[in-house]
């Protein structure tokens, strides 16, 4: 199960539903003024206000327009643009270009082409600099100056160099488009400075313009700005000295205030408005994003091409003729796509998927648009629309003009090939990754603020560790609890500033898979920079910005299970299991020919799902025996139901009760039955909530979409969902529903909050669940081997995968230099796995492959020395292999193999050196006289070198002692007659994992493993605190508690924990980093 | 004899805290102590007290992880101290000097492994048993003495250094003795690590199952060097006494001192002065030899039938100049109470510091000169401090701050101040406290026209635009934003006026003199 996403602390203005209202009244009758030099917090660690705050403040102050000019960046302009539109303010796009000479020029585009030049300029500067920097010379700017208005910022000390610079720029921009910035900064010589600038303006013919060099929207942000300065310089506030501003004047000021400061220069104030008016000729809304035209056969339009491909696909999919329902859906969707001109987008996804298929890369689409009939017919997804009724409108919304959303999952090891294909096909100018704005969260913010405020490292640590746990309001008691004084003014400052800093962007990173592709050059729309990763380029806008700008992106994500499935299919082909056409099996083959296999569902219902996709976690496994999936749609539900959304919305238990037949399934109206029938009357998916709103409360599809968006954000901005909620309830009452039912529906919808799972995603995931379960049931060896070969992924370590395979009758053979490859392989009839050398810790892939090659060409090796000479690998690699006990076929155990390897020397010439006779005797003598090693120690050494042991389980060595102390085995624990509920028991085992999920209010889950299986512990918070040391440190644990049973799910509710690490170390002296 | 100090760095800190320096002595009982160092951008525990060990803290753990092991009410009181290997080493050296009471030959046991700090002593006890009345009693006495220092120590006596070392660290008892000829049996059951081998070798041996010394001794000797290097046999032979090993003893350095004893008590100040000058010369010689200078010197007058009289002087910089010391001591000596006569005088340098060799150059480069580094100034400062008290001379250093009153600091040490950036023009004379004045200005933040100061009205002839300075908010002191104006009055004098924005009150904060 993927990690729960931490809610974004500050929603994008486009999603925030601000209703365009201002909190404060607008100050009217002010001198007309526009603050043109505004630095937002997208100039990282400098600006101390969000773009939205700056725009709103400018509106309140009655400025003629608002503007943002971040340093070498346009990352904040979309947010500012959107909130300006919401608040009814005009917005000026600007940018502060800081040149290599450290002189700064503010520029404002006056047309679409000038904006494109600005983007290109920034792209140029960023692409040739390391990530996060921008290298530009004057001539770069001059060459792209057409249509840009510029304001030059004079340096502190104005020298001859600056005069030359100014005159040079005047040549490019002429006096009409160029201005000289003048600021009254309360520095003690402001009037001198202004007089000096005025004479400079007169002398050079470049007129003066007033700015206040704003860093924040109100003076209250001064402290935060000081702290940001400290963070930027890596110093404390005490050390910062003159790097800080001396006052709080760098905020947005009202026009009258500016007029007073520039009383002698009214023209300079007026010029701000002139510049803004000219710059306002350009507006971000003028950007026309165009999706790249698809390559179509000559003479054919994209729409016709898509239609042709879709119908052809439909014929392939449905050998017995296209069902009416699907045909109808196809026609409807194709018409809608054509109307909204999204053909090219679908064709692009089709193209990417076809590319992946041609390279044998498994992939699968998901998302609402992906689960359309069109996508099914194009082969983008395997979810048959004939079996689902999905809302196509959800993702293609006619009125709002929202772009469709298709996520495509690829094998995680090969996703890069797909990305590079896209870069290659469209070029760096037309394709780039979406940015992800990494923001300060409580923990990171308090760390930086605490450090800047000079708190000792351990206080900062304690605060950081506890802040998330406290939620948004750290109370005095809680601070006292961790040993800090809540009344200490520094602590209070730290907390207050942390609160302000949370949600500030910290840096731009790349989005996991979002690719933006354009018809024209992308760098005309947005600056592109280098990513931290080689061969990647990223735009400056994140996915919300892109959505707001109406740009399309394709999400190309990596998924480990696809890698595993492909590898299993390939292995099966090697042992003669192939698809119906004789080729390698495909997901489609399994879904068409092997669907609804009762044995597979029986296995799932037993929660026998170690290693399969999605339903392998402990929470899922405890749900499976209650849900007892019997058909594919049950899997869709299973995937969606064990999520925080449904759990917190209280939908899980009603659903289970209805499914178990304890509670009757009833619907108030037949149309509701149609919506909720498949989930027994309980809304489990976002789509159902929307459909319900449409059929029962008379929402339009677009209102339903608004409801969905507000569901995603109600915890942050609560009012929108209540507005929709009222509308929902009113609508249902008007349509004759009972109030109770209406309220109940609304409560359930609210429950989705952040983590509701759309049916369209669940359906695509369920396919992989089914395929992986089918593999596990019918081909356990291939499945386990593929799973190990795809590590790291999933929930389980190779040790558990291997053990599970053994439980399913698979023979596992140990790693051996003469038999193993790098990867695990199938041997014999296909039900035997030979573990691969990839599991040997510290062994390089190249060495493993060199050995396999040497064995393939020379046959089996009889001695360590001959292997060393023939394969050419180093003694370090040999030692790794020896520690992994991989010389069994030479009759050498770990100890003896190491004894043989020890005298070998890499540096000498192996071919000419002979081991002299006396040493051979000594070696032989040594072999006999090596001390014998206890079996338990050998097992622990296996664990340390390979992560598992095929010899025995470590716990088996202390079983007698454990039995004396009353501990039973995991197998006995599962046996209901032996261990009825409420009985007190003791169990012991290796600690496999410790979890403390956020949803479980401090309960810790520990999984123990012994030689018979696993035992699940539940430990309440106070018990865990009492046995903290054991709970956190013990690797071998003895737990005392009572049995809890729910069907076949067994837990031990722990009262007491003991560490029994010492039992094993008594057996073996070395337990060096085993595990 | 080998002494192992398993938690030296912790013991040292507790000892220091007991001496009541900055640390709170009671803390030892109440607060768990962790010694931490930064490793790879995270804080790691390098040592911990017995109490922390009880809850499961171990060296090498991340601090975050270690903290989590304490109960919540305890976690807040966990005391973190920085890893200071240098201090540990210096203190260990002192301990070694102290240990000379047991044997004239004492060495610091330097670990073979790189990166590990010394944590033991080696004492050559040859012939010392007799002094202690037998080996057994000797062990007991030594153990008891370390116990009194509250330093945890494991002690072993053995015929070879190697076997003593092995027994101290890996023997089962905190103190043990190995009889001559018995070392083989004594060390055989001990783990390989007891042989003082590089970690790599120990791991290599344990890989093939060799965990104890006896298992190692079972292997064919000739096969070992090719596999594990020459060290294995050498260290084994040393422990068994087949190979020689010597230790590198340290020599105790007594405090530099000089003493003169008179034939009989005298109260003739001239002869006492003469004697003191003599011992100071001698002391200066000792100091010069060690290339150190004294920061504190005590003169002890042994008086007949009275307790000794102590006279102490301190120096701003380390000095080995007898003349200088004499000039400082002399006024004190004049006031000293001689009682019935002085039988002898002793001078002792209680605190010494290394003297940095300063190259004497022909042309003195004044720009490079730190203030107060020339001899005359130092002599003056020392004289004033020793006569008027150590607080009498302070040194002003620049600090970076926009606020004029915080832009400098007074300190006792004669530190060279890094050249701080200076903010805008500041008056040449700044008043300790701004003086309220009356001012006439046409607009609240406009130029100043008249000032009433020093009971006189002044017409302002020139006024610069204001410099706005806000309070340093992190200082938690109440204060307001001020606008400073440099104004010139008729007399031509420039004044520095300030207006508190919130209260609209005017002050004068300095003048250009």
Quick one: pLDDT at residue A434?
Answer: 92
The torsion angle over the Cα atoms of residues B156, B195, A1068 and A1032, rounded to 10 degrees, is 80
Residues B148 and A128: their CA atoms lie apart, in Å, by 68
- How many Cβ atoms from other residues are within 10 Å of residue A946's Cβ? 23
Instruction: Please report the pLDDT score of residue A221 as a whole number.
Output: 94
Among all residues of chain B, which has the CA nearest to that of A901? B227
Lookup: tokens for B356: 């940095």
Is the pLDDT score of A479 beyond 80?
Answer: no
Q: For chain A, give the percent of residues with pLDDT over 70.
A: 89
Which of A 858-887 lie inside 8 A of B, CB atoms? 879, 882-883
For the residues of A285-322, what is the DSSP string, one character each?
A: GG----PPPPP--TT--HHHHHHHHHHHHHHHH-TT--
Residue with tokens 């903010």: B423
pLDDT confidence bin for A581, thresholds 50/70/90: confident
- Neighbour tally for A994: CB within 10 Å: 15
- Which comes out higher in pLDDT, residue B233 or B362? B233
Q: How far is A538 from chain B (nearest CA, A)?
A: 29
Decide if A470 touches B, using CB distance below 8 A. no
Q: From B67, which residue of chain A is nearest by alpha-carbon distance?
A: A462
Q: Is there a contact between B223 and A222 if contact means CB atoms under 8 Å apart? A: no
B72 contact residues in A (CB cutoff 8 A): 481-482, 1025
- Interface touch B208/A902, C-beta < 8 Å: yes
Structure-model confidence comparison of residues A985 and B54, the more confident one: A985
Catalogue the long-range contacts made by A722-731 (C-beta closer than 8 Å, 24 or more residues apart).
Answer: A725/A749, A725/A750, A727/A697, A727/A699, A727/A703, A728/A693, A728/A697, A728/A699, A729/A697, A730/A697, A731/A693, A731/A696, A731/A697, A731/A698, A731/A699
What is the band of B75 on the pLDDT scale with cuts at 50, 70, 90? low
d(CA A666, CA A982): 36
Cβ pair A37, A66 in contact under 8 A = no
**How do B506-512 and B429-441 pair as beta strands?**
antiparallel
Task: Give how far B476 is from chain A: nearest CA, Å.
Answer: 7
- Residue pair B413/B394 in contact by the 8 Å Cβ criterion: no
* Whole-angstrom distance, CA of residue A815 vs CA of residue A803: 15
* φ/ψ bin of A445: left (φ > 0), alpha (ψ from -120 to 50), beta (otherwise): alpha
CA distance B211 to chain A (A): 8
C-alpha–C-alpha distance, residues B261 and B275, integer Å: 9
Q: Which of A1020, A1015, A1006 is nearest to A1055 (CA)?
A: A1020
pLDDT digits (tens, 9 = 90+) for B155-184: 998 888 888 988 988 888 888 888 888 888
Residues of A in contact with B211 (CB under 8 A): 931, 1069-1070
pLDDT of amino acid A389:
57
In angstroms, how far is the first alpha carbon of chain A from the final one? 23
pLDDT at residue A92 greater than cutoff 90 = yes
Strands (E) in B228-291, as ranges, are 257-266
- Inter-chain contact A490–B476, Cβ cutoff 8 Å? yes
Q: Do A241 and B401 touch (CB under 8 A)?
A: yes
CA distance A820 to A815: 6
In 3D space, the residue among A953, A868, A976, A979 whose CA is nearest the CA of residue A915 turns out to be A868
CA gap B265, B342 in Å, rounded: 5
Whether A913 shows a pLDDT value over 80: the answer reads no
Asked whether the beta carbons of residue B43 and residue A481 sit closer than 8 angstroms, the reply is no
Q: Report the SS3 class of residue A1069.
A: coil
Q: Shortest CB distance from A188 goes to which of B75, B227, B464? A: B464
Residue A125: pLDDT band by 50, 70, 90 thresholds? very high
CB A249, CB A256: distance < 8 Å: no
Residues in chain A within 8 Å Cβ distance of B405: none
Residues of chain A neighbouring B469 (CB-CB closer than 8 A): 246-247
Contacts of A481 in chain B (CB under 8 A): 72-73, 76
A457 lies within 8 A of chain B by CB: yes
Beta strand A148-153 with A178-182 is: parallel
Is A129 touching B (CB cutoff 8 A)?
A: no
A984-1006 average pLDDT score = 80
Flag if A1069 and B481 touch (Cβ within 8 Å): no
What's the pLDDT score for residue A1074? 27
Residues whose CB is less than 8 angstroms from the CB of residue A939 and which lie 6 or more positions away in sequence, other chains included: A949, A951, A952, A953, A954, A957
> How far apart (Å, rounded) are the C-alpha atoms in residues A604 and A772?
11
Convert the pLDDT of each residue in B228-254 to its tens digit.
Answer: 888 888 888 888 888 888 878 877 667
Angle between helices A618-627 and A632-641 (to 10 degrees): 140
More confident residue, A115 or A660: A115
Whole-angstrom distance between the N-terminal and C-terminal Cα of chain B? 74
Q: Which of A918, A875, A932 is nearest to A900 (CA)?
A: A875
Q: What's the confidence (pLDDT) of residue A562? A: 92
Measure CA B97 to chain center: 18
* pTM strictly above 0.80: no
Kindly report the CA angle at A242 between A240 and A248, in degrees rounded to 5? 95
Residues 373-392 of A with CB under 8 A from B: none
Cβ of B486 and A188 within 8 Å? yes
Residues in B closer than 8 angstroms to A184, CB to CB, are 465
Mean pLDDT of the A81-85 span = 91
> Does A971 lie at the interface with B, CB-CB under 8 angstroms?
no
Query: pLDDT class for A594, splitting at 50, 70, 90?
Result: confident
The beta-strand segments (E) located in B304-447 are 309-319, 342-354, 395-398, 408-411, 429-441
Q: What is the Cα–Cα distance from A883 to A898, expressed in whole angstroms?
A: 8
- What is the β-pairing status of strands B408-411 and B395-398? antiparallel
pLDDT bin (cut points 50, 70, 90) of residue A720 is low
| Chain A 486-545, residues with CB within 8 Å of chain B CB atoms | 489-490, 493
> Which chain A residues have a beta carbon less than 8 Å from that of B467?
186-189, 246
Beta bridge partners of A825: A834
Q: How far is residue A697 CA from its own chain's centroid? A: 35
- Given an 8 Å threshold on Cβ–Cβ distance, is B468 in contact with A186? yes
Q: Which pLDDT does position A6 carry in this prediction? A: 35
- B88/B85 Cα distance (integer angstroms): 5
Q: Decide the pairing of beta strands B105-108 and A178-182.
A: unpaired
- Collect all residues of chain B within an 8 Å Cβ-Cβ radius of residue A902: 204, 208, 226-228
pLDDT of residue A1071: 30
- Work out the average pLDDT over B401-415: 79
Question: With 50 as the cut, is the pLDDT of residue B501 above it?
Answer: yes
Q: How many CB atoms lie within 10 A of CB A666?
A: 9
pLDDT value at residue A719: 55
CB atoms within 10 A of CB A797: 17
Range in A44-48, A1042-1046, B224-228 with the lowest mean pLDDT? B224-228
| pLDDT on residue A669 | 80
Chain A residues with CB-CB distance to B420 below 8 A: 241
Are A412 and A558 a contacting pair, CB within 8 Å?
yes
Task: Report whether A69 contacts A36 (CB < 8 A).
Answer: yes
The DSSP symbol for A480 reads H
Other beta carbons less than 10 A from residue A1071's beta carbon: 20
CB B47 within 8 Å of CB B7: yes
For residues A556 and A513, is the Cβ–Cβ distance under 8 A?
A: yes
- Whether the CB-CB separation of A955 and A1012 falls below 8 Å is answered with no
Q: Which residue has the tokens 């009972």?
A: A738
The shortest C-alpha distance from B218 to chain A (Å) reads 7
- Asked if omega into A141 is within 30° of 0 (cis), the reply is no
To the nearest whole Å, the CA of B185 is away from the closest chain A CA by 18
Q: Is A949 in contact with A1075 (CB distance < 8 Å)? A: no
Listed in sequence order, the residues at least 6 apart from A723 whose beta carbon sits closer than 8 Å to its beta carbon are A710
Which positions ≥6 away from B366 have C-beta within 8 Å? none
For the question of an ipTM over 0.90, the answer is no
Q: Which of A234, A241, A883 to mutate to test the interface with B (most CBs of B within 10 A)?
A: A241
Q: Do A242 and B402 touch (CB under 8 A)?
A: yes
């Amino acid at each position: 199960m993927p990690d729960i996403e931490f809610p974004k602390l500050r929603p994008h203005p486009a999603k925030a539903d601000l209703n365009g209202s201002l909190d404060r009244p607008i100050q009217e009758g002010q001198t007309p003024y526009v603050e043109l030099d505004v630095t937002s917090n997208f100039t990282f660690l400098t600006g101390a206000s969000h773009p939205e705050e700056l725009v709103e403040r400018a509106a309140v102050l009655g400025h003629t327009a608002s503007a943002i000019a971040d340093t070498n960046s346009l990352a904040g302009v979309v947010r500012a643009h959107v909130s300006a539109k919401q608040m009814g303010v005009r917005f000026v796009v600007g940018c502060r270009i800081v040149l290599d000479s450290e002189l700064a020029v503010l520029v404002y585009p006056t047309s679409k082409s000038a904006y494109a030049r600005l983007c290109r300029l920034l792209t140029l500067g960023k692409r040739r600099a390391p990530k996060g920097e921008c290298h530009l010379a004057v001539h770069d700017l001059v060459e792209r100056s057409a249509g840009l208005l510029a304001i030059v910022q004079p340096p502190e000390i104005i020298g001859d160099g600056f005069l030359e610079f100014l005159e040079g720029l005047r040549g490019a921009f002429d006096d009409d488009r160029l201005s000289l910035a003048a600021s009254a900064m309360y520095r003690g010589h402001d009037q001198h400075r202004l007089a000096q600038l005025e004479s400079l303006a007169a002398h050079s013919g470049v007129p003066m313009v007033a700015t206040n060099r704003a860093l924040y929207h109100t003076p209250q942000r001064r402290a935060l700005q000081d702290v940001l300065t400290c963070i930027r310089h890596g110093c404390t506030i005490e050390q910062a000295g003159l790097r800080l501003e001396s006052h709080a004047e760098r905020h947005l000021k009202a026009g009258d205030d500016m007029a007073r400061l520039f009383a002698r220069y009214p023209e300079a104030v007026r010029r701000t408005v002139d510049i803004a008016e000219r710059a306002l000729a350009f507006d971000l809304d003028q950007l026309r994003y165009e999706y790249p035209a698809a390559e179509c056969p000559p003479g054919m339009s994209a729409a016709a091409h898509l239609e042709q491909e879709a119908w052809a696909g439909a014929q392939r999919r449905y050998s017995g003729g296209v069902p009416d329902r699907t045909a109808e859906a196809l026609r409807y969707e194709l018409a809608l796509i054509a109307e909204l001109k999204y053909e090219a987008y679908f064709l692009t996804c089709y193209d990417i998927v076809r590319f992946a298929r041609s390279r044998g890369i498994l992939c699968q689409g998901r998302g609402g648009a992906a689960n359309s009939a069109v996508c099914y017919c194009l082969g983008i997804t395997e979810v048959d629309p004939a079996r689902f009724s999905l809302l196509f409108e959800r993702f293609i919304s006619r009125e709002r003009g929202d772009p469709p959303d298709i996520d495509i999952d690829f094998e995680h090891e090969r996703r890069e090939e797909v990305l590079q294909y896209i870069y290659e096909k469209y070029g760096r100018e037309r394709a780039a990754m979406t940015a992800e704005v990494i923001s300060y969260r409580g923990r990171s913010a308090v760390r930086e603020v605490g450090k800047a405020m000079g708190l000792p490292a351990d206080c900062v640590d304690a605060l950081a560790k506890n802040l998330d746990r406290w939620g948004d309001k750290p109370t005095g008691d809680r601070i006292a609890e961790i040993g800090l004084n809540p009344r200490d003014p520094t602590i209070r400052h730290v907390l207050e500033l942390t609160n302000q800093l949370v949600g500030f962007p910290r840096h731009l990173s790349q989005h996991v898979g979002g690719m933006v592709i354009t018809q024209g050059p992308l760098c005309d729309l947005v600056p592109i920079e280098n990513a931290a990763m080689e061969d990647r380029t990223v735009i400056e806008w994140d996915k919300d910005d892109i959505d707001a700008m109406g740009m399309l992106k394709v999400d190309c994500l990596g998924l480990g299970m696809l890698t595993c499935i492909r590898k299993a299919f390939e292995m099966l082909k090697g042992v003669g299991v192939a698809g119906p056409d004789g080729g390698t099996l495909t997901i489609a083959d399994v879904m068409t020919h092997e669907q609804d296999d009762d044995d597979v569902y029986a296995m799932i219902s037993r929660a026998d799902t170690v290693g399969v996709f999605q339903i392998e976690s402990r929470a899922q496994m405890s749900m499976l025996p209650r849900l007892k999936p019997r058909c594919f749609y049950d899997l869709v539900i299973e995937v969606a139901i064990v999520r925080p959304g449904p759990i917190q919305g209280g939908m899980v238990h009603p659903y289970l009760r209805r499914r178990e037949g304890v509670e009757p399934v009833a619907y108030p109206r037949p149309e509701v039955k149609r919506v909720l029938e498949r989930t027994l009357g309980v809304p489990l998916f976002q789509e159902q909530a929307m459909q319900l709103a449409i059929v029962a409360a008379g929402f339009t599809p677009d209102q339903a979409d608004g409801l969905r968006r507000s569901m995603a954000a109600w915890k942050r901005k609560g009012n929108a969902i209540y507005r929709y909620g009222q509308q929902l309830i009113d609508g249902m009452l008007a349509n004759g529903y009972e109030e109770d039912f209406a309220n109940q529906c609304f409560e359930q919808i609210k429950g989705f909050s952040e983590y509701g799972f759309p049916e369209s995603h669940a359906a695509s995931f369920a396919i992989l669940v089914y395929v992986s379960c089918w593999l596990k049931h019918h081909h356990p060896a291939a499945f386990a081997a593929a799973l190990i070969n795809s590590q790291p992924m999933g929930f389980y370590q190779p040790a558990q995968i291997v053990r599970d395979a053994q439980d399913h009758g698979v023979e596992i053979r140990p790693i051996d230099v003469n038999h193993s490859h790098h990867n695990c392989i199938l041997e014999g009839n296909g039900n035997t796995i030979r573990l691969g050398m990839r599991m040997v810790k510290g062994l390089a892939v190249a060495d493993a492959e060199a050995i396999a090659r040497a064995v393939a060409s020379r046959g089996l090796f009889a001695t360590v020395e001959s292997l060393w000479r023939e394969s050419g690998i180093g003694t370090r690699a040999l030692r790794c292999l020896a520690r992994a006990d991989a010389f069994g076929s030479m009759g050498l155990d770990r100890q003896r193999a190491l004894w043989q390897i020890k005298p070998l020397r890499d540096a000498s010439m192996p071919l000419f050196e002979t081991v002299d006779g006396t040493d051979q005797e000594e070696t032989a003598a040594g072999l006999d006289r090596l001390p014998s090693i206890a079996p338990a120690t050998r097992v622990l050494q296996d664990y340390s070198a390979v992560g598992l042991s095929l010899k025995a389980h470590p716990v088996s060595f202390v079983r007698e002692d454990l039995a004396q102390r009353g501990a039973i085995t995991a197998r006995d624990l599962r046996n209901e007659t032996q261990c009825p509920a409420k009985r007190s028991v003791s169990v012991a085992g290796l600690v496999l994992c410790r979890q403390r999920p956020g949803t479980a209010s401090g309960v810790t889950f520990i999984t123990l493993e012994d030689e018979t299986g696993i035992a699940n512990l539940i430990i309440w918070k106070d018990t865990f605190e009492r046995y903290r040391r054991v709970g956190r440190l013990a690797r071998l644990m003895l737990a005392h508690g009572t049995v809890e049973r729910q069907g076949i799910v067994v837990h031990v509710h722990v009262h007491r924990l003991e560490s029994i690490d010492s039992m094993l170390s008594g057996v073996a002296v070395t337990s060096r980093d085993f595990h | 004899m080998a002494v192992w100090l398993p938690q030296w760095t912790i013991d040292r800190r507790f000892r220091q805290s007991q001496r009541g320096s900055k640390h709170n002595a009671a803390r030892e009982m109440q607060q768990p102590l962790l010694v931490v160092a930064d490793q790879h951008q995270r804080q790691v525990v390098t040592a911990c007290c017995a109490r922390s060990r009880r809850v499961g803290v171990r060296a090498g753990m991340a601090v975050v992880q270690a903290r989590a092991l304490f109960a919540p009410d305890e976690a807040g009181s966990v005391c973190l101290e920085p890893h200071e290997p240098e201090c540990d080493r210096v203190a260990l050296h002192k301990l070694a000097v102290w240990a000379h009471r047991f044997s004239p030959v004492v060495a610091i046991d330097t670990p073979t492994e790189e990166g590990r700090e010394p944590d033991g002593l080696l004492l050559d006890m040859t012939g010392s048993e007799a002094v202690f009345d037998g080996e057994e009693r000797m062990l007991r006495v030594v153990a008891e003495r370390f116990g009194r220092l509250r330093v945890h120590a494991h002690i072993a006596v053995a015929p070879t250094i190697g076997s003593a070392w092995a027994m101290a660290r890996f023997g089962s008892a905190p103190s043990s003795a190995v009889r001559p000829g018995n070392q083989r049996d004594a060390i055989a059951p001990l783990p390989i690590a007891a042989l003082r081998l590089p970690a790599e070798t120990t791991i290599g041996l344990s890989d093939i199952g060799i965990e104890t010394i006896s298992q190692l001794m079972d292997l064919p000797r000739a096969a070992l060097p090719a596999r594990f290097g020459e060290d294995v046999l050498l260290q084994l032979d040393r422990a068994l006494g087949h190979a020689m090993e010597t230790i590198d003893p340290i020599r105790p350095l007594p405090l530099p001192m000089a003493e003169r004893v008179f034939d009989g008590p005298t109260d003739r100040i001239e002869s006492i002065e003469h004697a003191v000058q003599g011992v100071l010369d001698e002391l200066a010689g000792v100091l010069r030899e060690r290339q150190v200078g004294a920061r504190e010197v005590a003169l002890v007058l042994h008086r007949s039938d009275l307790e000794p009289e102590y006279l102490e002087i301190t120096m701003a910089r380390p000095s080995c100049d007898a003349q200088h010391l004499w000039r400082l001591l002399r006024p004190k000596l004049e006031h000293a109470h001689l009682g019935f006569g002085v039988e002898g005088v002793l001078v002792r340098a209680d605190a010494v510091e290394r003297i940095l060799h300063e190259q004497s150059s022909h042309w003195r480069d004044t720009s490079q000169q730190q203030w107060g580094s020339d001899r005359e100034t130092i002599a003056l400062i020392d004289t004033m401090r020793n006569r008027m008290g150590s607080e009498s001379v302070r040194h002003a250093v620049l600090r970076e701050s926009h606020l004029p009153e915080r832009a400098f600091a007074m300190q006792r040490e004669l530190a060279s101040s890094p050249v701080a950036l200076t903010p805008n023009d500041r008056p040449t004379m700044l008043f300790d406290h701004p003086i309220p004045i009356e001012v006439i200005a046409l607009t609240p933040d406009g130029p100043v026209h008249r000032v009433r100061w020093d009971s006189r009205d002044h017409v302002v002839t020139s006024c610069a635009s204001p410099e706005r300075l806000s309070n340093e908010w992190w200082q938690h002191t109440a204060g307001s934003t001020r606008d400073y104006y440099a104004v010139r009055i008729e007399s031509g004098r420039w004044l520095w006026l300030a207006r508190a924005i919130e209260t609209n009150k005017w002050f004068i904060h300095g003048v250009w003199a």
